[in-house]
Every structure is written in C-alpha cells, then in structure tokens.
Amino acid sequence: MPLEPSDIRWDLTCGIGPDGHWHGWYGVHVRAAALRRLGLHPDQPTAVVPGPTPPAWWHAAAERNAR
C-alpha cells in the first residue's frame, strides 16, 4: 500500500438531520507528509507520483475488495 495505517484517520459523525432521521457522515483525513511522498500535496507545483505504478494485480485486488 502506498500509505501506512498511521497516515490515515477516519471519523464517523452521527446526528439527527432536518428531516428527523438519523444520518451518518464519514470524514477521511490523510497526513500531509504522506501526500507529499506521493506527490499529491496541494502545496506542490505538480502532482506527480514519484515512484513506479503498482502492479496490475494490486489494482485488480483493490477493485475486487471495494465491492
């Protein structure tokens, strides 16, 4: 994986919406240093991945696990 587990934090917020039903919101937070390593931090002039592309099996496994 390009990110370490300690680089990512996710939160769940729950509450009653204006329609009276419960709703949940997820927030995903990634450390700026982790984004810089991937060339994705907004302060960088270009967003370029600094390493080789992951192998095809990695993409296939990610798509399979996303379902």
Give me the number of domains the chain comprises: 1
Cα angle for residues 11, 59, 34 (degrees, 5° grid): 45
In this predicted structure, what is the pLDDT of residue 20?
92
pLDDT tens, N- to C-terminus, the chain (67 residues): 688 889 999 999 999 988 999 999 999 999 988 888 887 776 666 555 667 877 888 888 888 888 7
Q: What's the predicted TM-score (pTM) here?
A: 0.48
Residue pair 16/22 in contact (Cβ under 8 Å)? The answer is yes
Distance CA 65, CA 67 (A): 5
Three-state SS sequence of 15-32: EECCCCCEEEEEEEEECH
State the Rg of the chain over Cα: 17
Q: Which domain holds residue 53?
A: 5-66
Place of tokens 């450390």: 31
